[in-house]
Structure 1
Amino acid sequence: MTLPETTSLTQQISARRTFAIISHPDAGKTTLTEKLLLYGNAIHLAGSVRARRSQRHTRSDWMAIERERGISVTSTVLQFPYKDRVINLLDTPGHEDFSEDTYRVLSATDSAVMVLDAAKGIEAQTRKLFEVCKQRGTPISTLINKMDRPSRDPLDLLEEIEKILGMQAVPMNWPIGDGESFRGIYDRLTRTVHIYRRVAHNATAADEVAVAVSDSALSDHLSEKEIAKLTADSELLDGLHYHIDDELFLGGTQTPVYFGSALTNFGVQLFLDAFVDRAPIPRPYISDNGLIEPERESFSGFVFKIQAN
């Protein structure tokens, strides 16, 4: 899955997005990977990490032990086109017993997606992997997952990111409720509300309805109390001057934060669209023979893993 051969080298480079997903076990990393493949049209039905007989297993968890235990134990490279981009997604083991594989993968990425459980926030393995990214100067985007379950206060989660990881956390969208009261996501850039809907078995793309926050039709989906809280939250966020700065993001001192539910597919496309627009293109690598620029015409590659069947 590559761009047409007629595409110039510069265009091919600018279209590539190579990233890994980091998280603590069970935060939803492999589920998010599967749903990104779904929205990238690389698959038509998404699998499940802990699949029943009637469900499919995930594509990235292909080893028997992974399917039995519901965890990733080896890294997997997945490539798919999305709009005018080429996505290289490096799925990594989240379990600490297999973290060495993850460390090698992170040396080959241009950015990382940090997945947090909305009920738990930053956990031990997430913090370890963040430190690896920090040492390499890897830009990080954050997805706060599992909003369809009871969750912590979003502002508390942002504060925890800033306090523990030392990055300014900038919310790009905002959840409306959580758990059984989860109603949707407010996109701060477009000022639209994406109404939460579930699909059968969570296996296909969610059919999202977007309503402008100023549209009277919003009352068809949210109660008066929910609209009032959304208005107050929006004014609070604007008053706190939460704005993304690409220079700070690429420098690793700021992280854009998104909310969603990978299991139910909700908010995944919002995240993917924003991520591919902001994530960095391939960067130069230092080799024994000096700096290798992405524009170099002769073949070169960064080998981070060798696997034999």
Structure 2
Amino acid sequence: MTRPPLDSIRNIGIISHIDAGKTTVSERILYYSGETHKMGEVHDGETVMDWMPQEQERGITITSTATVCRWGGCWINLLDTPGHIDFTIEVERSLRVLDGAVAIFSAVEGVQPQSESVWRQADRYRVPRICFVNKMDRVGADWRATLRQMEEKLGARPVPVQIPVGAESHFAGVIDLITRELVTFGEADLGRSVQRRPVPAEHLAEADGAREELLEAAADFDDTILADLLEDREIAPERLRRALRTGTIACRIFPVLFGSALRNKGIQPLLDAVDAYLPSPLDLPPVTAQRPDGASVDTLPCDPKGPLCAFAFKVQSDEGRKLTYLRIYSGTVKAGAALWNSTRGGFEKAGRLFRMHAHKREPIDEAIAGDIVAATGLKEVLTGDTLCDPGHRLALAGLSVPEPVVSLAVEPRGVDDREKLLPALEKLQWEDPSFRVHEDEETGQTILTGMGELHLEVVTDRLGREFGVNVATGRPQVVYRETITRPVERREVYRTEFEGRIQGGEVWLRLSPLPRGEGVRVVVPPVEELGIPRELRDTVATSIEQACSAGCRTGYPLTDLEVRVTAVPFEPGITTETGVRAAAGRGVLLAAREGGVTLLEPLMNLEIITPADYAGKVLGSVQQKRGRVEGISVQGALETIRAQVPLAEMFGYMTELRSATKGRGTFTMEFARFEQAPSDLLRRFGLSG
């Protein structure tokens, strides 16, 4: 592929709730753009984007996949992301580097829980979006209800640039409100041929009404359109698109299109909309990067001639070696170039560069600002690291990583498995920041911690398939948190003699409980106030953070507390780094125990979709699980139950729900917050209720 001009590049992702049709849309995009010559179907396990065996067997996307295609004069770097909440880190890191996104909604289910989650993630990174209401051919399709839910649940302003013609089995195509044409798709050639003709008379009134709303939305971003609208003058389609593009890039409106990806309808207009409304790298504000001194900030426009600055947003273990995905924000990187890792400190060498097509690679000599590429040879780089020119050191903002809430004990089955287990787990941790590994000090077991049962199931499956490590697993366990119930102050003194030298340290601490969801706040006064060397101050802060992550009674991390250092007395010749580290760590441990330790359990947001006939039985089961029902909504013959339920009660719930609804119920859940654990659980851990 020849290099495209920067203004023609679109770095976009496909985001949605699980089973809304992301991968099916991606496969059609590749087919109609000429990148593939056969449509892969999710139900056949033959898609290009879902290439992992685990994805093909389960019919879901597990890892975000990058590819490249061209549409007209537009060059699209496309990332297909998972919809399952267990793999939310894949969405998070993709949205961190994307310029735009296509949000897909099911016309039947509307705005579902994970739709809301990915929308909020996109809001956090201010990613412009267009929306595609899929499954218009399905029984129960209601596009107007979907638009209402976008307004109510997402707080968004959807602006239809099309309206569908027919629904369910009668879905025939769409009316383009900008060009005033009926658009249909050929049945005989898998939708390749797109026919445009005047709007039929029976649809004119509805189309004119919808176009009026479109013109009003466009007028908010172009005063000349407003003037022409008031004077009843004709407005050229290109002017409308420019105005809508302005509003979309500002994240103030979200153009909406309709179709049925499985029936090959609506994808070509969606590609046109990607080109028309989503930004190129040049359309977005320059990124900001910090200098090493931490005080000054550089503004980096998307310029291939600027200082090199790239963000590593994904690391993949590829046949035992690291393959690192990079978004280049500024400058140019060439194969074999020496780079500086600003996050970890140290030099790296980009051995080879590739443009990715799912799991296939196309070697390239260089990558410039605006590109999304992969590199080999970056040995110490992890997700969230910044790579830059060694002579112009810069650091980009990192990545928000969700806290894992489910753990699983694994044991190697044989001697060979024992030797291979830890190296394999290390490689899996390269890839996934939301996956953690530690050893239980009491049992010696290796504990895997992840986002949910499916997450850990996929990890153990990959251990066997990809790394040849056979493991036995225990029952999934909840990851709790410790906190304190009252403020406490403590003076901790440490003294020991080692190799003829006194190692000493003294730390004064004040621990205070914080409201739920606040996490750990470590407050260490500046060096001038403490009157100690900077390295000792940094040691105190690091030791406190480590002590909080280790917990004090049950081994679970501390949370929702403030640890404030009030003094670190310094005795020349006595106070050492080792002494201060020991005093701070032991001080936190003992102070927390004096502060009335209690346990917090993870609470999950649960949404169940069930036929109305079984709603009573489902509600009863939720209440038996200490669940709190927060709302019930009815859509046709289905009821949606929203509740909050402790995670400890939810293991194996899919089997229970299928039994209660004769296989017709589905549910999704995501982490909400930590909340006080019940007294019987506290007693089990030896804590007072």
TM-score with structure 2 setting the length: 0.39
The structure-2 alpha-carbon separation of the partners of 1:67 and 1:241, relative to structure 1 and needing over 3 Å to count, comes to closer
Q: Which residue number corresponds to residue 270 of structure 1?
A: 269
Aligned match of 2:611 = none
Q: Quote how far apart the aligned CAs of 1:150 are.
A: 2.4
Alignment of 1:7-46 (within 5 A): 12-46=5-39
CA contact 1:206–1:264 (8 Å) conserved in 2: no
Residue 208 of structure 1 corresponds to 194
Residue 181 (structure 1) shift:
1.1
* Mapped pair 1:233 → 2:232: no
For 1:77-112, what per-residue CA distance to the aligned partner results, in whole angstroms no more than 9, with x for missing partners? 111222212110011111111111211111010011
SS at match of 1:308: strand
Q: Rate the CA distance shift 1:209–1:241 in 2: closer, same or farther, 3 A.
A: closer
1:155 and 1:25, CA in 2 relative to 1: closer, same or farther beyond 3 A?
same
- Partner of residue 195 from structure 1, selected from 184, 193, 206: 184
Counterpart code for 2:271: L
Write the mapping of 1:1-309 to structure 2, written as runs, cut at 5 A: 1-3=1-3, 12-51=5-44, 57-199=46-188, 204-213=190-199, 218=200, 227-228=201-202, 230-241=203-214, 243-244=217-218, 245-282=244-281, 283=284, 284-289=286-291, 290-297=298-305, 298-309=307-318
How far 1:194 sits from its partner (Å)? 1.6
Which amino acid is 2:299 matched to? L
Taking the aligned partners of 1:136 and 1:295, their CA distance within structure 2 comes to 21
User: CA contact under 8 A between 2:245 and 2:276: conserved in structure 1?
Assistant: no
What letter corresponds to residue 265 of structure 2 in structure 1? Answer: F
3-state SS of paired residue (1:233): helix
Aligned residue for 2:97, secondary structure, equals coil
For 1:59 and 1:50, locate their aligned partners in 2 and report how far apart those are by CA, in whole Å.
13
CA shift for structure 1 position 205: 4.2
Identity across matched positions, percent: 33
Give the residue type in structure 1 aligned to 2:20: A
Query: For residues 178 and 152 of structure 1, what CA distance do their matches in structure 2 show?
Result: 6
Shift of 1:287: 2.4
SS of residue paired to 2:118: helix
Query: C-alpha separation between the residues in 1 aligned to 2:74 and 2:194?
Result: 23
Is the 1:167–1:252 contact (alpha carbons within 8 Å) kept by the matching residues of 2?
Answer: no
Distance 1:248 1:30 in 2: 27
Q: 1:23 and 1:100, CA in 2 relative to 1: closer, same or farther beyond 3 A?
A: same
How far apart in 2 are the matches of 1:88 and 1:239?
34
The answer as to whether partners of 2:162 and 2:257 remain within 8 angstroms in 1 is: yes
Bigger relative CO (Cα 8 Å, ≥ 6 apart) = 1
Give distance in 2, aligned partners of 1:195 and 1:246.
24
Shift in CA distance, 205/181, structure 1 to aligned 2, threshold 3 Å: closer
1:37-79 Cα shifts (integer Å, max 9, x gaps): 111111111100111xxxx711110100000000010111111
Residues 81 and 301 (structure 1), Cα distance of their counterparts in 2 relative to 1, 3 Å cut: farther
Structure 1 residue identity aligned to 2:259: G
Where structure 1 has 5 or more consecutive residues not aligned to the other structure, the ranges are 5-11, 219-226
CA distance in structure 1 between the partners assigned to 2:304 and 2:169 by the alignment: 53
**Structure 2 CA distance, aligned partners of 1:206 and 1:3?**
27
Question: Would you say how many aligned residue pairs link Structure 1 and Structure 2?
Answer: 282
Structure 2 Cα separation of the partners of residues 277 and 240 of structure 1 = 19
Tell me the TM-score normalised to structure 1 length.
Answer: 0.86
Cα distance, 1:193–1:69 mapped onto 2, change above 3 Å: same
SS in 2 for 1:144: strand
Unaligned runs of 5+ in 2: 219-243, 292-297, 319-689
Once residues 306 and 211 of structure 1 are traced to their aligned partners in structure 2, the CA distance between those partners, rounded to angstroms, is 48
* CA radius of gyration, larger in: 2
**Does the 8 Å contact 1:184/1:196 carry over to 2?**
yes
SS class of match (1:256): strand
Are the equivalent residues in 2 in contact too, given 1:23–1:129 (CA < 8 A)? Answer: yes
Shift of 1:246: 2.9
CA distance in 2, matches of 1:126, 1:156: 15
